[in-house]
Chains A and B, each alone.
Chain A
Amino acid sequence: MTASLAQSSPAVKTGSRAWRRFCRHRLALFGIAAIVLLVLASVVGPSLIPFDSLKIDIRHRFAPPPFEGHLFGTDQLGRDLLVRLLMAGRISLSIGFAAMIVSTAFGTLIGVAAGYYGGAVRVALMRFVDAMLCFPQIFLLLVLAAFIQPNVVTLTLVIAASSWMEVARVVEGQVRSLRERDFILAAEMLGASGRYVMFRELLPNAIGPIIVAATLTVARAILLEAYVSFLGYGIQPPMASWGNMLNNAQQYLGSAPWLAIFPGLMITLAVSSFNFVGDGLRDALDARFDLN
């Protein structure tokens, strides 16, 4: 009885309630921990390991893990696999975050404009989003990636260009329903400009779903980077990314399976962590889940 009273009392701030609900979500906490660990290991790890990620050591090729300090073994050129995995983590995680920021910013812009102006603007923008979603994301991404000189920046932009549509849809839906609320009417009657209403009134109130979509976009972007790099149109060797490490691994599948297993596990760990966090955030920030 007291518990239910405490929960419904307006004294409990939305923020702390969302935080408590997020903490109940053990998978999301696991996700946060794993992401922090991955980022820390990628940033600090390579300097703690006495091997260089690019140094070729022909005498110790295909050393199975663990081998004389090579905890995860070595690859076809005798390079330490662990340090390469961590260096690859820097690249893959950076691209994931950066692509998320670019695509979320662009998608939000499109979504807010479509939702706020409505009418012809909405129809034009959202039909464009629909049309973009008709193309399989990987097809679009591969074709665009084949047109560019692949490096971290161009790859980020290309991934963002093929994954902003979901965010735009989410934001447009949110803004369209918020648009009809009284506080927007009040702001407009006070003479607020369109830009003020869009970015000071509408956007802050739609931030929950945007954060959720952004988190899931990181997961998606890491996967997409892995796909293009695996297929040879992404990060180019000798620079390591989780995707291009798997590119070579396929031909040594029978003799050196660890070359394929570890990078894939890293991708799966990173991507599922972001998906868990996104799911937890959705439960925490979406008021509808209060009913359950």
Chain B
Amino acid sequence: MANFLFGRLLQSLVLLLIVSVIGFAVLHLAPGGPLAQFALVPGLSKEDLARMAHEMGLDRPLPVQYWEWLTRLLGGDWGHSYRDNRPVLDVIAGRLPATLELMGAAILISVLVGAWIGVMGAIRRYSTFDMLATIGAMVALSIPTFWFGLIVIYVFSVHLGWLPPGNRTTVGGDGSFLDYLHHLIAPAAVLALVEVAIWSRYMRASMLDVVNQDFIRTARAKGLPERTVLWHHALRNALLPMIALAGVEIPTLLGGALVAETVFTWPGMGRLLLDSLGYRDYPVVMGILMFSAVLALLGNLLADIFAAVADPRIRMA
């Protein structure tokens, strides 16, 4: 286990390093580079810009610049927002809870609904339910999330008036938990659509894998009721690969959250990215890009560790 942990940790660190190089490259790809913030300030001469470039160390070799940037990043100094000069990490931290809540709710929905659909599809393979679930999953993966969001708003907010069309709480409302939950339903369901589809497919495949194994035949042979065999013996083993899937799905989920947040004016990290792009607030853009990659890396690492804890076969391999 110690070997497995060490190897996995080392791998993540290497990936983190490459991720940071990509991030640094993207930052320098930005039109005007890190100096872009001053391009629109009136009264700055070319000499002023050159002097500032020198002060910011932009005339030094790129590897040196990268190294300084990386050490600052690791020290928690992610730069300041062009917009209000607040530290980037603070700006992100202010928006993170909203995104994490949205993602958490979506994961909950997709794990429960997706796993159920997948298991039922595997048990009644090639039944009408299975066929419909297969087609439904493929269509769900093809629906643009933002459009689905618009349709949900149209049906449930404009027409039926059941759900609020956006925001996290009612403006000027009592701020109660129920009010908050009421606002969470639509964006979480929209975000979950794609994930339900993915989870149901993986769950079905995993369940089919397990059901054909010897220990299931043994369980049946010793006369256990089919329900116990499926929901106890098979499901527990079929869920193991799903732990790793949860880690892999984090970037997709974050991307989906951006779209859902845009449509439902949910004040999360995705909206922040879009707003910052609009203001050409590159430090915040970079910060979110790096932060989301780190989040994905961490999620992957944790998922792999959990999977190894739950399933000894993984850490032995």
29 pairs across A/B with beta carbons < 8 Å? A127-B15, A128-B18, A130-B15, A131-B293, A133-B251, A134-B251, A134-B293, A134-B296, A135-B296, A136-B255, A136-B292, A138-B258, A142-B273, A143-B277, A143-B285, A144-B29, A223-B142, A230-B144, A246-B146, A250-B263, A253-B150, A253-B153, A253-B154, A261-B151, A264-B148, A268-B147, A272-B141, A275-B138, A275-B142
Question: A164–B290 Cα gap in the complex (Å)?
Answer: 20
Question: A135–B26 Cα gap in the complex (Å)?
Answer: 12
Question: Contacts of A223 on B, CB cut-off 8 Å?
Answer: 142, 144
A7 at the B interface (CB under 8 A) = no
Given contacts A135-B22, A260-B147, A267-B142, 17 further A-B contacts (CB under 8 A): A27-B135, A130-B18, A143-B289, A144-B26, A146-B277, A146-B280, A146-B285, A223-B142, A227-B259, A249-B150, A250-B150, A254-B158, A264-B143, A264-B144, A264-B147, A264-B151, A272-B143
A231 at the B interface (CB under 8 A) = yes
Report the minimum CB–CB distance from B273 to chain A (whole Å).
Answer: 6
Chain B 300-315 interface residues, beta-carbon cutoff 8 Å to A: none
Report the minimum CB–CB distance from B195 to chain A (whole Å).
Answer: 14
Report the minimum CB–CB distance from A260 to chain B (whole Å).
Answer: 5
Contact B258 A268 (CB under 8 A): no
Point out the residue from A134, A139, A144, A268 that lies within 8 Å of B273, measured CB to CB. Answer: A139
Question: Contacts of B252 on A, CB cut-off 8 Å?
Answer: 136-137
Question: Contacts of A246 on B, CB cut-off 8 Å?
Answer: 144, 146-147, 150
Question: Contacts of A142 on B, CB cut-off 8 Å?
Answer: 258, 273-274, 277
Contact B139 A272 (CB under 8 A): yes
Question: Contacts of B288 on A, CB cut-off 8 Å?
Answer: 139
Question: A63–B31 Cα gap in the complex (Å)?
Answer: 42
Question: Contacts of A130 on B, CB cut-off 8 Å?
Answer: 15, 18
Contact A127 B14 (CB under 8 A): yes
Report the minimum CB–CB distance from A208 to chain B (whole Å).
Answer: 20
A226 at the B interface (CB under 8 A) = yes
* A interface residues, tally (CB under 8 Å): 44
Question: Contacts of A272 on B, CB cut-off 8 Å?
Answer: 138-139, 141-143
Interface 1/0s, chain B 106-119, versus A by CB < 8 A? 00000000000000
Question: A246–B26 Cα gap in the complex (Å)?
Answer: 29
Minimum CB distance partner of B286 in chain A:
A143
Report the minimum CB–CB distance from A91 to chain B (whole Å).
Answer: 16
Report the minimum CB–CB distance from B65 to chain A (whole Å).
Answer: 19
If A147-B30, A275-B138 touch, whether A268 touches B143 (CB-CB below 8 Å) is yes
Question: A136–B255 Cα gap in the complex (Å)?
Answer: 5
Point out the residue from A134, A135, A219, A260 that lies within 8 Å of B151, measured CB to CB. Answer: A260
Q: Which of A134, A139, A249, A267 has the most CB of B within 10 A?
A: A134
Question: A16–B254 Cα gap in the complex (Å)?
Answer: 43
Main DSSP-derived SS at the A contact region: helix
Interface residues of A (CB under 8 A from B): 27, 127-128, 130-140, 142-144, 146-147, 219, 223, 226-227, 230-231, 233, 243, 246, 249-250, 253-254, 257, 260-261, 263-264, 267-268, 271-272, 275-276, 279
Point out the residue from A127, A137, A226, A261 that lies within 8 Å of B251, measured CB to CB. Answer: A137
Question: A139–B284 Cα gap in the complex (Å)?
Answer: 13
Question: Contacts of B289 on A, CB cut-off 8 Å?
Answer: 135, 139-140, 143
Contact B146 A227 (CB under 8 A): yes
Report the minimum CB–CB distance from A102 to chain B (whole Å).
Answer: 18
Q: Which of B144, B259, B285 has the most CB of A within 10 A?
A: B144
Q: Which of A139, A223, A271, A275 has the most CB of B within 10 A?
A: A139
Contact B154 A257 (CB under 8 A): yes
Contact A147 B31 (CB under 8 A): yes
Question: A35–B296 Cα gap in the complex (Å)?
Answer: 35
Contact A138 B255 (CB under 8 A): yes
Question: A189–B139 Cα gap in the complex (Å)?
Answer: 49
Question: Contacts of A275 on B, CB cut-off 8 Å?
Answer: 138, 141-142
If A147-B30, A253-B158, A275-B141 touch, whether A139 touches B292 (CB-CB below 8 Å) is yes
Question: Contacts of B244 on A, CB cut-off 8 Å?
Answer: none
Question: Contacts of B240 on A, CB cut-off 8 Å?
Answer: none
Contact B277 A268 (CB under 8 A): no
B105 at the A interface (CB under 8 A) = no
Question: A249–B150 Cα gap in the complex (Å)?
Answer: 9
If A127-B14, A135-B22 touch, whether A260 touches B150 (CB-CB below 8 Å) is yes
Question: A228–B279 Cα gap in the complex (Å)?
Answer: 17
Question: A210–B167 Cα gap in the complex (Å)?
Answer: 43
Interface 1/0s, chain B 144-162, versus A by CB < 8 A? 1011101101100010000
